[in-house]
Structure formats: C-alpha cells, structure tokens
Structure 1
C-alpha cells in the first residue's frame, strides 16, 4: 500500500507536465523558450529554498549543479522548443523513449537489473514513439523532434544520477528540489539575458501560464518526482513519464483541436499500453518486490 501511494504521488508530476504543451502554445508568447524555462525554474527554486531552509554543502555543491543542469537547465528550454514546434501529443509522446534510456543508463551506472517484461514494455513504448514521429504522414518539424529527444536524454541521465546519489540525511524533498531548480535557473539566467529578447507584452493569460508552470509544474511536481525517484525501481519513473503524452494528447485533441493519422494514433496507443503493462513489472526484480530488504541489499548507501 505504501509503495502504491508513492507511485500515485509520483505520477502526479508527469500528469502536471502534460499540461505544459497546451499552456505553451495557447498562453505563452512564442519564441521565448529560455524565458519560459527561467520563469519556471528560478522563482520556484528560490521559494523552495526558503521553505526547506537548507543549502547544499560539500560534495552536494557540485552534485546539485550537475543535477540542476540536467533535470532543469537543459531539459526545460528544450521542452519549450519542442512544445512550440510540435503538436502537444507528439511532443509528449517522444517521452516514450525515456524508459529505454533510463534502463540502459541505470544498468551501467547503478548495476540495477530490470525484469525482461519491463524492458519489453519500454522497448514497445519506444516503438510507439517511432510510429508517431517517423510515420509516413507525420511531416514533423525535426528541430522540435531533436529538442524533445535531447531534453529526454538530459532528464533521463538526471533521473539515474538522482537515484545513484540519493538525498543527504536531514534534507527534505522540498529543499532538495529547490537546490536543483535554483541551480538550473541560475544556469538559464545569463543565457536568457544574452540570447533572448524580452517579449513585447506579457498579458494576463501568459502570466497565469508562467505561474502554473512554476508552481504546479515546477515546485510541486519536482518535489513529488525527486521523492519518488529515490523510492521506486529505476525503470518505474521512466514508465511513469509516459503519462505525460496521455494528458498532452487528450488536451491537444479536446482543447486545441489536434488530429493524428492512423499510424500516429496506433503509436500513441502502444505508448499507453506500454505504460500500463510496464509498471506491473517495474516494481519487481528477479521475483523480489522492489523496496523489500532483499531487493535493496545490493544498493549503494547513497540510495537508501
């Protein structure tokens, strides 16, 4: 029951992220991915630092900088580039390759084995993404596709390192999320000032969009996400990320009037099936439930 609760709370993060695509295209000024990334990261990070009342020390100074660069500084702007250039369902569906990347990096870095059914589900999700992205009638913006893939690779690496390094004793999830959001925001600040002009106008809708992305899609989502990463098997967060295409696709069709070819629809369906089936196996390794003493015996101390 406790594991299910952690799973459901962690799942709220990709659900919130699925709204990013619609908000970006419908509310935010176009052509300002760095500004959107900065406003999503830095205010939320500073607020989390105030609430959490803890600053990184020692090795966590450089660890926070690396995690912030991967999970926030690289991922956020690439995410907004993809959201501007691709239909919401397509941009989010590219996340279907993330489980494959996480499983591969997790095997190399963590030596954590994933059961074959979970690996097969991850591969099926990647195949579904291929149908969405390179189908015969897709005609997608390749800059958007590459941005989505780059962002996914960055955050996949961040997921594995987050699980590898764990969280310092006595530091809560809010402060921990604040370290990464602030580090990523500070990385984005000079880049935004140097490379991107301010939009001519930020209306009420754009302001509301930035607030939503910074609070629900930023602070709240990342507190739940980083907390869940450290308590779930390495394959589980990547498979949970497939919830993002569900939300983005539904919002795209219902609100934005998007449509998909038969091939793309089949690809999205495969991604969703991979999500549902993969979670059942991601929580077991070699017949031992994840989180049990036996399953955790071989984990590095920093992961406990």
Structure 2
C-alpha cells in the first residue's frame, strides 16, 4: 500500500513539474500577445487526439459534468494562466498561484467533509512564503489584471480538483481527460476568436514546437497524470504537488536562461519543498492498547 501511494505521488508530481516549463515555453517560443490562442491550441488538439484513441464519449450526467470540469480544470484555468504569464513577471504569477493548496483545503472541508488541520494550513502558508522568497523580485511590477488572472486561475483549479474527486468518472482515465480537454478547448475557441481575432497567418518553427510541446506533453500527458493522482490521492496531497511548478520554473531559469539563484532564493525553494513533504506525511495510526489478561469467573 505504501509503495503504491509513493508511486502515485511521484507520477502525479510529474504533471506540475511539466507545467513548470510553461512560462519558459510561453516567453521563448510562442508569439507575443496571444494567451487565449495558446490555451486553445494547448487543450483542443490534445483532447481530440485522446478521444480518437479511446473512442469513448460521455454518457448521461457526464455530458454536463465533463463540461463543468473542462471549464474549471482546462478552459478557464488555461486562459487565466496564459493571461497571467503574459501580463506578470513569472515570480508574481507563481506567488499568487501558490495559494491554491489553501483554497483546496478549504473547499475539501466544505464539499468533501475532510478535516481542515492546522498542519495543512501552516504547510500552505509556508508554501506561499517559500515560493515568494524563491521567485518574487523586489522590482517586480504588479498588474491588476494579471494578479486577478493568477488568483482566479488558482481558484478555478482548486474547485476543479475538489469536484474531480467528488465526481468519479465511469470511463477510463484517458477518455475522461480527453472529454475535459475538448470541453475546455471548445469553450475557449469563440472567446479567443472574439478577443484576439484569427490565428497569425504564419507561425515559425519555434511557435509550432512550443504549441506541440504544450499540447502533447503539457496537456495530454500531464493532465492524464494529474487526474490519475486525484483519483488515487486526497485533494490536499495532490494540490500541494503544484508547488513543484515554480521550483521547476526557477530551475529552468537557472539552467536554460542563466538566471542566478541567491541564498535567499535557495532558502525559499527549501521551504516550499518542505511544505510539499509535510503535506504528504500521514499521521501515525494510534497505538493499540495492550491486551488485558482475561479473568476467569468462578464457577
């Protein structure tokens, strides 16, 4: 059982690790000023591919449930994520988004009846502080729309995580993932066309590579691992793994862009990683009371 849980945690952790590369790919490979197009091209082609592979459509109430989950986990979240990525420095966006574990803890208590513990709250607060130390810069500019987008993205994703745990899909994992990606992409498409207009007439090889990576790896693979983790673990355990995203983003900035890491940033990374570890620790089961000697009654 412990080995299965550890494997589930490690596989689920790959999803936010992959998402940690989103900021780098967005800024280095994608065309500027097209966050909604990026969200559509990340979700819809990947979802259609999974539908083609699984050949499974929703049934009954899962038509509207898939639409709701697709809007929360994919459509609204990706739109807000890319708006925040374009309008905010990565550090500000990551710091605001790191409140998600705290939101999930509250929603889990309200919707799933899970106990909100002091340890979870303290770990969530420590996670926000660690991410802030790691990625927030003193000169970072605050854009009201970007901050609202980052906070909104954390809120809709938190709601999606909790509802995904509450609504158990009868279909295989890849089919459910495909439904949500398609639903999110379909909801985003008219909004992207209305706000940003048609896609650019020409796309560079770098643009195509960026979109392909975000769709195949960042959506199809990462979301399948994420939803698998939600099915096997508690929402709190899953959402704290999201703190790995800014850690990976900072590591990529150091390795790929040559960005230095100060001792204070390394301290922040340590605190954030510690919050992840603390959140996964389960309390030891209470020790059983020693057996009492049996006293034979006089006959």
TM-score (norm 2): 0.87
Q: Please give the residue correspondences for 1:276-287 in structure 2 after superposition, counting only pairs within 5 Å.
A: 276-281=277-282, 287=285
Q: 1:110 to 1:160 in 2, by over 3 A?
A: same
- In the TM superposition, what is the alpha-carbon distance from 1:125 to its structure 2 partner? 1.3
Contact 1:102–1:160 (CA under 8 A) maintained in structure 2? yes
Alignment match, 2:112: 110
Contact 2:91–2:132 (CA under 8 A) maintained in structure 1? no
Provide the rounded CA distance (Å) in 2 between the counterparts of 1:218 and 1:279.
25
Report SS of the residue matched to 2:281: helix
Contact 1:92–1:248 (CA under 8 A) maintained in structure 2? no
Alignment match, 1:77: 79
* Deviation larger for 48-57 or 25-34: 48-57
Alignment match, 1:179: 179
2:245 maps to 1:236: no
Alignment match, 2:70: 68
Alignment match, 1:214: 215
2:37 maps to 1:35: yes
CA shift digits 1:114-164 (9 cap, x unpaired): 543233211211334556788754433343222111111111100000000
Q: Please give the residue correspondences for 1:1-304 in structure 2 after superposition, counting only pairs within 5 Å.
A: 1-129=3-131, 137-168=139-170, 171-197=171-197, 198-258=199-259, 267-281=268-282, 287=285
Larger Rg: 2
Q: Which runs of 5+ in 1 are unaligned?
A: 289-304
CA shift digits 1:86-132 (9 cap, x unpaired): 33344334332111000000100000125432332112113345567
How many residues in Structure 1 have an aligned counterpart in Structure 2? 283
CA shift digits 1:2-59 (9 cap, x unpaired): 1111111111111111111000000000100010000000001111111122111111
Contact 1:85–1:144 (CA under 8 A) maintained in structure 2? yes
Q: Which runs of 5+ in 2 are unaligned?
A: 287-299
Provide the rounded CA distance (Å) in 1 between the counterparts of 2:69 and 2:167.
10
Q: 1:229 to 1:11 in 2, by over 3 A?
A: same
Contact 2:95–2:128 (CA under 8 A) maintained in structure 1? no
CA RMSD of aligned residues (A): 2.3
